[in-house]
Structure 1
Amino acid sequence: MKGLPERLAMPDLGAVGRSLVGVLLAAIAGLQWGTAGAATAAAGAAAIAGAAALQDSPRGPLALVGAISVQMSFAVALGTSTSSYGVLFVLAATAWCFLAGIQWAVSVNAGLIAAATGALLVTAPPVPPTPTSVLTTALLTLGGGLVQAVLIGLWPRRRWRTQRDALTRAYRSLGEDAKRLAADPNAGVDAAPLQWLRDTVTMTDRQARRRPLAYRAWYGLPQRISVTLTALAARSADDPAVPTVLRAAAGVLDVVASRSHTAKRDASLGVLQVEAASDSVAVINVALAHRLSHQLREAVALRFGELTPDVEHVSRLRRRGALSALPIAAAAIRAHLSWGSPILRHAVRLSAGVGAAVAVERFADVPYGYWIPLTVLMVLRPETAHTYTRCAGRVAGNAVGIVAASVVTVIWHPTGLAAAVLAVLALGVAYVVSGYGYVATSAALAAVVVFLVDVSDAADAGTATDRLIATLIGGALAVLVHVVLPDHSMVRLRQRAGELLKTEIDYAATVIKAFVHGLDHPGEALAAAWERAFRARAAFEAAAGATTSDSGDLRRWLKSYRTALNAITTSCATLESNLPARPPATLHTDFVVAVDEYAEALSGAPTAPGAPWRLDGDRLAAAEQRIREAGRSLGPDDTASRVLVAEIGDITRSLVGITD
């Protein structure tokens, strides 16, 4: 019910249809074999698991769906066994929602899915439990999630197959190129597979931008590896150790392109061999050899599905199965077990808000009272910008969805299978409108909840007005707990400083990439990037104004931070004024790849919620140096590109200054 992220990129229709079929099958099973509320729990679990399976994940959907299904069955078992005991149910909901809130430390999707399991718990009907009813409902919930895994196995996703094939071909070709370069430094690199990869990505460029960084990094990495291989081979005449590095790299690339059962182990061993061979090269070639080994580590990590694209230890690749994610998740949660952490504060807010909401529902006898804790779950996020605006927007979205669904229920009074069909249709609408913002998504999900609860025919006797009142009460509680327990002022300032830095860098990256790749609608794209940066600057200044501190260090930091960001904005304005209508056709491939690599280093890697966005200054400086080296190939008429090189130098100095 709450498992859909706020901005879910619309998946392919086949995958959506598969997910919706799973929801309908789970509802039918719940109606056939379940007790009160079982059909709602089973269908809701299928909806959450289906939405999670549609997200692009390097680890694949099966392990994820299985883990989510187990978590949802525990939540439903806890809710069903305590729902008829007022105080016990309040305590159970409070404890579960604290655990759900702290899971935001792992990732955004983990936090959303955990909140969704809380929604299954708080909608448990207040029916006296029996061991049979609790076990049956929990098993049906587990089955509702696992039916999505079964459907994935029977009906796998076909999307991105062409891109994956092109990627495999590119890595296989690079392996052959590395072998030829080891024997003949002048052999060159076969550009055809790399061009085919670029063409297949360009064909779906809009989709590619919506995929996680771990996937988006796939497509630029082979080109960067080819440039490094060529540059390293050119120095093999003066360094007999270079061919050994190239042959070891060829072995890793062959394994990355293969699909054997031992590929993961062979790749990790191959990377270690490349690193060992790199220690034997001449001093002048050490930087290139280390760059190649780092790129190979990145290729191996992306190919075999690490949680993040930046892998520091190849030994992590030896971990097998979904259990390898557990220690990483536990470490992420432990890092936030301090009172200054915005994630811990969010967990406390969520548990307190849901606990109070469940107490109001059970002891004030509010019709459709489950909408009070549901609204708290749907509204609260560990956000640092526009918090109250977004809370109000989500509550308004809930109200619109409730009204729309109530019109249908008043006219038709659907229950059972009819309500399940309507819930499936509303869920389809939620996928369609998910790209239009959190208000539209909230409205669609609210309609889904209305119909899902009606599947079991366990709803209270009330009117649409009662639902709206309950939603407003929940929204008020969500805002109240945020007012009573806000984030620490310095934490909020640090978060908004990171948000501002990220939006400024996104603006700069958009302008920089336009010099070598162009933009379909440059005016609109650049204006949108600047608008986001402008809003982030306003939020940062508001946080700075609300931070009460007499620290001289803080004042000096604010001054230097503003100065650096103003310098970046000035450089971007200069680049915009020199942006060519079309990228010059004479640009050398090395220069284009160097600019792409700089833009990737500039964009950085995603961070978990609650962690301020950071920049790797060393990586950025190294990427800027490679642009300067590649810029030596520019001709006298490449005026715009020379301006690009100069302004990139200014941007880098400003950003490295902030990082230091």
Structure 2
Amino acid sequence: MTWLRALKETARSGLTVERKRLEPLVALRGAAGLAIIIGVSLTLFGPAVAASSAFGAFQAAIATFQRSWRPRPELALASGTSLAVSTFLGYLTGSHLLLFLALLCLWTFLAGLSWAAGPTVGIIASSNVAIMLVTVTLPTSVAAAAGHAAMMIVGGCVQAALVILFPVRRWGAHRDALADALAAEADYARRLRHDPVASFDPEPLMAARDAAKITPRQARSRPAELHGARGLAERIRPVLASLADPAVGVPPEGRERDRVREILGAAGAVLDAAARAIRNGEPVKIPPAAVATLRTPDTGAILTGPAYRAATRLGALLRDVLETAGTQSTPTAPDPGPATQSDTQAIPLLRPTLPALIPGALRAMRAELRHESPVTRHAIRVTAVAAAGYLLGHWLPLGHGYWAPMASVMVMRPDFSQTYSRAVARFGGTLVGVALATGLVQLADPGTGLSGALAVLCAGMMYLLMRTGQVAAQACVAAYVVFLLGMGGQQWTQTVPERVFLTLLGGVLAMIAYAVYPAWETPRLRTRLADWLVADGRYAAAVVDHYAHPAGKSCPDVREALLTARDARIAWQEAVARAKNEPVRHRGLSRAAAADAEDALAQLGRVAMLMEAHLPDRDATPVPAASRLADALRTSTEQGAKAVRERRVPRWDAVRTALTEWNGDGVPDRVVRKGATLLLTTLEELSDALSTTPPPMLVDGSATQKPRQNPKEPRNQEGPAAH
């Protein structure tokens, strides 16, 4: 993508206003906390302290809006406290330019590096640095600075207290995450009726798992319906796929296929009902037609073999889902077998408390301290820009020089697209917000009290529109700051013109910095693809190995390998999304080749999932050849990953040899035999996809160039599609 097109795409993204579900009660609660702290501060201490405390309460409320499963009061307290510490230390060094600049560089570098601990920590840390640049100008003495810092902590405490006293849809985000996972599987079941190899994005399941991680305090109040349904949803997905897939299930057409379509439709209805019940906290209402379909005795007379086992297993899992969701009517498939108590027993996923999180965050930051790391490059970049912006603002005869570094810190992110889109949104929103606020100030000439009220109104609008787009939020923030500083006695003529120019300067500095010292994702796509190949290979090997060493349905090693493979897949998809708008060449992996390779690896994971759905019981007859195939899969995928990184086409001779020996053992189970064959097929498809990437790559030291396959021709008539 050219620079001109990249700039156009990022500008369009930054100026886009999206239609999102608004949360007016949550916005009202945040605005109420801000109004309380401003009113108390104005009454007891005056406008200057009120402005500082307002920034603390404002930032604490923003922290509670971040996409985090951690308790909101903890986020508010952490935000208010960290801003107070930053402000106090900043004031102590503020009178000495070089000393303050050193503190600013240190604080900004740590804030940039904090993105290694996650986006929520990164956003809070970056916002604290930006707001600190304003708040250090408000105190007039060390004692006053301590008082301002204390009121910022009070602002965070007020927001935390309001979250506790006036909860809005308690556990709502966790309910939505679990309900979304069940709804995604319901949609998957319906799509499998018409497309037996339909794709499935595991992101909802990963989000539900992340939401299931709770702190010890949350564990004491978590609703019962949020305990075990997530684990059941994880188990349902491979059963649905194995029931529908012609390779291991029933023929594409005929009486058996019709029965499978009926079961899948009923499963979708049951899962949708459970999702609605969990989302709204109400009893499950199951459609009678779905109950009748699942209870009919015809299934045992129509389905046989793996298909019947999958249908029976699905009925038992659906029963457990409904029991977990809190229903009294439980549909089951015929002959559901013994109760699956192991499915309903949710293993606790504990999230560390906020103090316990610090060592882990420090380890993550230390692990990123290498020059090639995107997080470290972001930390260096934002530090240099903040220092340069502060010096330029200090030397320019405009006053309020902190606006330039504040704008830079607020817009800069570790990736190209977000940095450029936010820079455009920041300047566009600033123009709109400043223009409206300035016009109102000129017309109404509000006093201290009215300025405070208008600041609260702007903050409430920002909380309400935060998720609709950056430009709307930035417009509200710009107006909020104008009114808040006006409340402190600074006239609009002292802030607005300078702020517009310096905001533009800060945005330009941020954009130039990324162009000069980038952290492009495009050159790392092959590394991401190789990591995914290794993870998928280990997952497939873990599944296959259990056919040589039967251990029943409970296989922790398979589960761990599956989660690792999902993480690698998401990392690849995020990298592709970031690289999409980067103005750089593909560096040896074109978009077409990347798409084909992604499809092949997704198929590899899906085949392993189908085999996992039919893992043998503990008393099953071992298949010795499976152990050799598992070893070949591990070794070959690791060697193949090395070839991918080195721009070579991977070879799968070891897997082919092991598969020949497997077939020679005469394995009777069609699932095992077909699944093992499809594993090799998907690996060969990966090699075909990578062989289309110019220039010609080396295989065993010789140059090759395979012709690109016609995209209209199916690559594998029998194999499953991307999962």
TM-score when scaled to structure 1? Answer: 0.56
Measured against aligned partners, the alpha-carbon deviations of 1:442-470 in whole angstroms (never above 9, x if no partner) come to: 22222222222223224685363332112
Structure-2 residue corresponding to 1:471: 503
| Partner SS state of residue 651, structure 1 | coil
Structure-1 residue corresponding to 2:483: 451
- Which one has a larger percent helix, Structure 1 or Structure 2? 1
| Partner SS state of residue 348, structure 2 | helix
Structure-2 residue corresponding to 1:101: 112
| Partner SS state of residue 68, structure 2 | coil
Give the Cα–Cα distance (whole angstroms) in 1 for the partners of residues 231 and 495 of structure 2: 67
| Residue 197 in structure 1 maps to residue 197 in structure 2 | no
Q: Which amino acid aligns with 1:446?
A: A
Query: Which of residues 168, 180, 199 is equivalent to 2:224?
Result: 168
Rate the CA distance shift 1:475–1:163 in 2: closer, same or farther, 3 A. Answer: closer
| Residue 378 in structure 1 maps to residue 410 in structure 2 | yes
Q: 1:63: Cα distance to partner?
A: 1.9
Query: Which of residues 373, 386, 392 is equivalent to 1:354?
Result: 386
Structure-1 residue corresponding to 2:469: 437
| Residue 14 in structure 1 maps to residue 25 in structure 2 | yes
Q: 1:326: Cα distance to partner?
A: 1.8
Give the Cα–Cα distance (whole angstroms) in 2 for the partners of residues 94 and 84 of structure 1: 16
Structure-2 residue corresponding to 1:155: 166
Equivalent residue pairs, number: 445
Structure-2 residue corresponding to 1:280: none
Structure-2 residue corresponding to 1:80: 91
| Partner SS state of residue 405, structure 2 | helix
Give the Cα–Cα distance (whole angstroms) in 1 for the partners of residues 124 and 100 of structure 2: 21
Rate the CA distance shift 1:364–1:121 in 2: closer, same or farther, 3 A. Answer: same
Q: Which runs of 5+ in 2 are unaligned?
A: 1-16, 180-222, 233-265, 282-307, 327-337, 533-573, 603-608, 614-670, 676-713
Q: Which amino acid aligns with 1:86?
A: L
8 Å contact kept, 1:81–1:129: no
Q: Which amino acid aligns with 1:143?
A: V
| Partner SS state of residue 360, structure 1 | helix
Show the 5 A alignment for 1:107-186.
107-124=118-135, 126=137, 129-158=140-169, 163=175, 168-169=224-225
Give the Cα–Cα distance (whole angstroms) in 2 for the partners of residues 473 and 645 of structure 1: 55
Rate the CA distance shift 1:168–1:122 in 2: closer, same or farther, 3 A. Answer: same
Q: 1:133: Cα distance to partner?
A: 0.5
Rate the CA distance shift 1:459–1:325 in 2: closer, same or farther, 3 A. Answer: farther
Rate the CA distance shift 1:295–1:86 in 2: closer, same or farther, 3 A. Answer: farther
| Residue 539 in structure 1 maps to residue 569 in structure 2 | no
Structure-2 residue corresponding to 1:651: 722
8 Å contact kept, 2:54–2:155: yes
Q: 1:536: Cα distance to partner?
A: 6.5
Structure-2 residue corresponding to 1:48: 59
Give the Cα–Cα distance (whole angstroms) in 2 for the partners of residues 440 and 483 of structure 1: 26
Rate the CA distance shift 1:174–1:537 in 2: closer, same or farther, 3 A. Answer: closer
Show the 5 A alignment for 1:257-268.
none
8 Å contact kept, 1:86–1:363: no
Give the Cα–Cα distance (whole angstroms) in 2 for the partners of residues 563 and 341 of structure 1: 25
Measured against aligned partners, the alpha-carbon deviations of 1:46-83 in whole angstroms (never above 9, x if no partner) come to: 11211222345322112222222211110121233333
Give the Cα–Cα distance (whole angstroms) in 2 for the partners of residues 367 and 373 of structure 1: 13
Higher mean alpha-carbon deviation, 347-356 vs 360-369, is at 360-369
Q: 1:331: Cα distance to partner?
A: 1.9
Give the Cα–Cα distance (whole angstroms) in 1 for the partners of residues 512 and 231 of structure 2: 59
Query: Which of residues 372, 389, 403 is equivalent to 2:435?
Result: 403
State the identity as a percent: 27
Q: 1:367: Cα distance to partner?
A: 3.0
Give the Cα–Cα distance (whole angstroms) in 2 for the partners of residues 128 and 147 of structure 1: 22
Rate the CA distance shift 1:85–1:563 in 2: closer, same or farther, 3 A. Answer: closer
| Residue 343 in structure 1 maps to residue 375 in structure 2 | yes
8 Å contact kept, 2:229–2:344: no
Give the Cα–Cα distance (whole angstroms) in 1 for the partners of residues 517 and 377 of structure 2: 7
Q: Which amino acid aligns with 2:348?
A: V
8 Å contact kept, 2:52–2:138: no
Give the Cα–Cα distance (whole angstroms) in 2 for the partners of residues 339 and 199 of structure 1: 48
Q: Which amino acid aligns with 2:585?
A: A
Query: Which of residues 334, 341, 348 is equivalent to 1:300?
Result: 348
| Partner SS state of residue 443, structure 1 | helix
8 Å contact kept, 2:30–2:159: yes
Rate the CA distance shift 1:125–1:533 in 2: closer, same or farther, 3 A. Answer: closer
Give the Cα–Cα distance (whole angstroms) in 2 for the partners of residues 87 and 366 of structure 1: 20
Q: 1:20: Cα distance to partner?
A: 0.6
CA-based RMSD: 5.0
Rate the CA distance shift 1:104–1:17 in 2: closer, same or farther, 3 A. Answer: same
Give the Cα–Cα distance (whole angstroms) in 2 for the partners of residues 151 and 423 of structure 1: 19
Give the Cα–Cα distance (whole angstroms) in 2 for the partners of residues 121 and 357 of structure 1: 15
| Residue 485 in structure 1 maps to residue 517 in structure 2 | yes
Query: Which of residues 64, 67, 83 is equivalent to 2:78?
Result: 67
Rate the CA distance shift 1:92–1:418 in 2: closer, same or farther, 3 A. Answer: farther
Higher mean alpha-carbon deviation, 404-413 vs 8-17, is at 8-17
Q: 1:378: Cα distance to partner?
A: 2.2
Give the Cα–Cα distance (whole angstroms) in 2 for the partners of residues 534 and 333 of structure 1: 24
8 Å contact kept, 1:41–1:141: yes
Q: 1:15: Cα distance to partner?
A: 2.0
| Residue 89 in structure 1 maps to residue 100 in structure 2 | yes
Rate the CA distance shift 1:35–1:8 in 2: closer, same or farther, 3 A. Answer: farther
Give the Cα–Cα distance (whole angstroms) in 2 for the partners of residues 231 and 292 of structure 1: 18
Give the Cα–Cα distance (whole angstroms) in 1 for the partners of residues 170 and 126 of structure 2: 29
| Partner SS state of residue 340, structure 1 | coil
Measured against aligned partners, the alpha-carbon deviations of 1:394-420 in whole angstroms (never above 9, x if no partner) come to: 322222222222222222333533222
Structure-2 residue corresponding to 1:508: none
Rate the CA distance shift 1:82–1:534 in 2: closer, same or farther, 3 A. Answer: closer
